[in-house]
Structure 1
C-alpha cells in the first residue's frame, strides 16, 4: 500500500497535540493559584487534545487491517513489531538515565530505581503509550483475518458493542469489558472501518463533525465545571483514552481529515509528509527539549502564547534531531 496523505496529516497534528498535552502539565494543578483564564485555557487545550494518542492507533488499524497479503509471521515480528519494540527498549533505558537529571543536579539513585522498574512502569511520562500500544501487535493478525470475513453489519455490530463499553468505562461501570487490550483494540477496528467501510460523503462528514465537536465541548465543560465546583483540578475519566467522548473526537478527526487530499496544495503536502516521516521520532524525543521548561519553570506567562512557543521549540528540536539520527544506518533504527 502506497503512502496515504491524510495519514501523514493526522500524524502531524497528533504529534503537535501530544506535545501540547505535555506542555500544559505545569498549569493543571494551579486552579486558584493563577488567573482563572490562564488555568482554563491550559485545561481546555488538554481537554481538546486527548484524541491524539488514539489517532496513532487508528492509523495503525487502518493500514494493517487493510493488508490482504498472506500473513508472514517472521516478517511481521521483524518489520512491524520489532520496528517499535526495539526503539522503545532503547529509549526506555535512555529516559531512565535521563530522569535523574534535575535543576539541582543529577540524582543517580532515583534514575537507578526508575531503570529497575522498567518492566512494570514506564521510565518517562510519554512512554506509557507503548505499554498498551505494543500488545496490540499481538491482536492485529487475528483482527486482520476477522475483518476480511465480516460484512458491514457484523463489523459495525462489534464496533457498537465496543462503543457501549467505552461509555460504561466513562461512567465507571466496570467489568470484564474494562480491560485495556479490549478498549484499545477497538480503535484498530474503528480506524479500519472509517477508512474502508464508511463512504466519504457530505452527510457522513456533517454527522462526524456534530458528534465529535459535541464530545469535545462536553469534555471541556465537564473538566472545568467539576474542578471549579470542587475547588481543585479533577477530571474523573473524561480525559481517558478509553472513553466514548475521546473515541468520538478521534473518530471525527480521522474521518474529516480524509478530505485533506483535495484541500491542501502539493507544496504543503510535501512539508507535511516530511514531518510525518519523523512523527514517531518527534514523539520519542520532544521531552528532551521540554526539560528546561519543566525543571526551571519556564512556563511563566499566559498559556495562549506559552503553549505554542514550547510546541514549536520542542517539536522543531525533536524533528531536527530525528532527521539527523535518520541520516546514519547506525542510528536510523532509533527513530523508525
Structure 2
C-alpha cells in the first residue's frame, strides 16, 4: 500500500506541473516569426513533450477505480464519486465565466453573458475543458469495473489493442466512428489499470515503455516544428491531441517511470510530494487565477526558458497556498474535491 500511495502522489505532482507549463507557454505558440526562432522552439518544445499531463490524470483514475474490489454501490458512486467532481466544476465554471469578463481594459459583462450562454458546449475558461470529457467517463467506469471482474485478461487486452489502433487512425486523420471523443478518451481508464496491475514493475518493462515514450516525444516535436515551418505559422495537426497514439505512449512512459522510482524518493521529498499531491486538483482548478495577470497584461516578455519556470512556480505556489487555505474550513473544503 505504501508503494501505491507514493506512486500516485508523484504522478499527480508531475502532471499538475506539466499542465501549468502548458498554460504558461500558450502566448508563445502562435508567435512563429514574431519572436526569435530559439524562443519559439523552446516554448513549442515544452508544449510537445508535456501533452501527457492530462491523460495521466485519467490513467490514475482508471488505475484506482478499476482496481477497487468493493461491491458497486450506485448511490455512493453518484454522491461520493461523480457528485464530488461535478458540483465544484459547476461552481468554478461560473466563477471563471465572471473572470473571463476581466481584461487589462476593465470588465465586460457582454463577454460573461456570452461565455455562460455557451457553457453547455464550451468551457467557460481554457483549463476547464478537461472536465467536459473527464466527467462523462464516470458513466463508463462501472462498465469497465464489471469487465475487469468478470472477463479474462485477453478480453481487456483485445479492447486496448483495438483502442490503440483507432487512436493511430485518428492521429493520421483517418476518421470514422472511432473518432468519437468519448471512445478515444475512455481507453485511458483500462490502460491505467493494466499499467498498474498487469505490467511487471522491473527494469526491462520500464525501459521498454521509456524507449517508446521518448521516441513518441521526439516524433511529436519534430512533426509540430516541421509542419509549422512549412506552413509559415503554428500548426500541429493532431500531434498534440490527447487522443492519439503518440500521446498515449508518452503518458504510459510517465506512468511507468513514476511507478518505478516512486518508492525510492528520500523521506523529505516524499513529504513534499505527498503534500502537493493532496491539493493537485485544487492546483489544477486555481492556477489560472494567478496566471491571469500574465495573460491580461502581457507579462510574459522574455525568453521562455526562464519565463515558463518562473510562472509555473508563481502560479503553482499561489494555487497550492489557496487550496490549502480552502481545505482549512468546512465551508470551503467542498469546493476543491
**TM-score where L is the length of structure 2:** 0.98
CA contact (8 A) 2:22 2:47 kept: yes
What are the superposed Cα offsets for residues 53-109 of structure 1, whole Å, 9 maximum, x if unpaired? Answer: 000000000000001111011111111001100000000000001100100000011
Residues 131-158 of structure 1: CA distance to partner in whole angstroms, max 9, x if unpaired? 0000000000110010122323221111
- 1:47, distance to aligned residue in structure 2 (A): 0.6
**1:276-295 correspondence runs (5 A):** 276-295=277-296
DSSP-derived class of the 1:330 partner: helix
Query: What are structure 1's unaligned runs of at least 5 residues?
Result: none
Equivalent positions of 1:1-336 (< 5 A) are: 4-336=5-337
User: 1:257: how far off?
Assistant: 1.0
* SS of equivalent residue, structure 2 residue 227: helix
Please give the alpha-carbon distance, in whole angstroms, between the structure 2 residues aligned to 1:30 and 1:74: 50
Length, aligned pairs only: 336
- Take 2:111 and 2:36, find their aligned partners in 1: how far apart are those partners? 34
Q: Secondary structure at the match of 1:30?
A: coil
In 2: Cα distance, 1:225 partner to 1:115 partner: 38
CA distance in 1, matches of 2:127, 2:232: 28
- 1:68 and 1:189 map into 2 onto residues whose CA distance is 15
Note the C-alpha offset of 1:120.
1.7
> What root-mean-square deviation, in Å, do the aligned CA atoms of Structure 1 and Structure 2 show?
1.0
2:202/2:260 contact within 8 Å kept:
no
Q: Which moved more, 1:148-157 or 1:158-167?
A: 148-157
Within 2, Cα distance between the matches of 1:315 and 1:264? 22
Q: Does the 8 A contact of 1:38 with 1:303 survive in 2?
A: yes
**Preserved CA contact (<8 Å) 1:226 1:234:** yes
For 1:153 and 1:19, how far apart are their aligned partners in 2? 38
Q: Secondary structure at the match of 1:334?
A: coil
SS at match of 2:50: coil
In structure 1, distance between residues paired with 2:5 and 2:190: 18
**Aligned-partner Cα distance in 2 for 1:145–1:323:** 36
Contact persistence 2:96–2:124 (CA under 8 A): yes
Q: Structure 1 residue 26: deviation in Å?
A: 0.5
SS across alignment from 1:286? helix
